Amino acid sequence: MANSVILAQLKREQILELLKEGKRLDGRGFEDQRPLSIDVGVIPKANGSARVRLGDTEIVTGVKIQPDKPFPDLGDKGILICTAEILPLADPNTEPGPPSEEVIELARVVDRGIRETEMLDLHQLVLIENKSVIGIFIDSSITDANGNLFDACSYASVAALLSCTVPKYEIKDEAPVLVEGVTSKPPVKTIPVSITMARIGDHIIVDPSSYEEACMDARLTITTNTEGNICALQKGGIDGFTFEQVVRCSEIALSVGTKIRKQLEKLM
């Protein structure tokens, strides 16, 4: 333990030294993301799926679509549920068991990114108001955890949704029945893009690696929509941001997000 603390301290000093010279440990510019690859349809048994690699972070996300009961007081909307699991094979520090607070936060931030941008028109997913709706389950299995799970998980979830086919259900005897062979595109209204930034000292860097996360002061995840609005935020980390820094972060999120959105739009 003591050793790893000293190592982390040394690593932080090294990273800070480089940042002062405008450099990052892996040679990226401050606003560069690691290489992003997105493969869709990797799980044919799911209604939609994607494998995302963001640097060495890798995630497989599957979308399952099936009839369900609506939430109380939300009988005019379909159901949308995001979950995530850091598989124990993805990270030597993860143990099997109930989700940690880190994983619960991750799944909820990804969920809000999709929900608050109003990416999907959930009103189109109602079969009988207050009784029967379509449920969309977006489950992410993190297979290699190497920094910035927020963005990787968001991209995988959005890509799996964009590429999914929605089965058709009809109501017979008050119960939903699958109509074989008929599917439609999901009711997508906008494309959310999550950009996570870390503050280390006075420097704001995009898409932190696991080394950078280990020594960052604070973290900010900003999700924007196609129209250039800011729709969801999550601050994390052991320190804070100034007003100027959070304004700067929003500008970075909008500019960097545009590139990612183009990559995602191709999947529609």
Closer Cβ to other proteins, 17 or 118, answer by number: 118
Helix (H) or strand (E) holding 264: helix 243-265
Cβ of residue 20: shortest distance to other proteins, in angstroms?
21
- Which residues of this chain interact with other proteins, rule CB under 8 A? 1-2, 5, 42-46, 49, 56, 58, 60-64, 66, 72, 83, 85, 87-92, 95-96, 101-102, 104-105, 107-108, 112, 116-118, 137, 139, 141, 143-146, 220, 225, 228-243, 246-247, 250-251, 254
Q: How far is the CB of 265 from other proteins (least distance, A)?
A: 19
By DSSP bridging, strand 132-144 and strand 79-86 are parallel
Report the residue number, 22 or 92, with the smaller CB distance to other proteins: 92
Amino acid identity at 6: I
3-state secondary structure of 149: helix
Residues 6+ away with beta carbon under 8 Å from 121: 187, 189
CB atoms within 10 A of CB 41: 14
Q: Is the CB of 33 or the CB of 83 nearer to other proteins?
A: 83
DSSP three-state, residue 245? helix
Element (H, E) at 231: strand 230-236
Report the nearest approach of other proteins to the CB of residue 264 (Å).
Answer: 19
The residue among 21 and 71 lying less far from other proteins, judged by its C-beta, is: 71
What minimum distance in Å lies between the beta carbon of 22 and other proteins? 24
The two structure tokens encoding residue 3 = 């050793």
Q: Which is nearer to other proteins, 50 or 206 (CB)?
A: 50
Residue at 176: amino acid letter: P
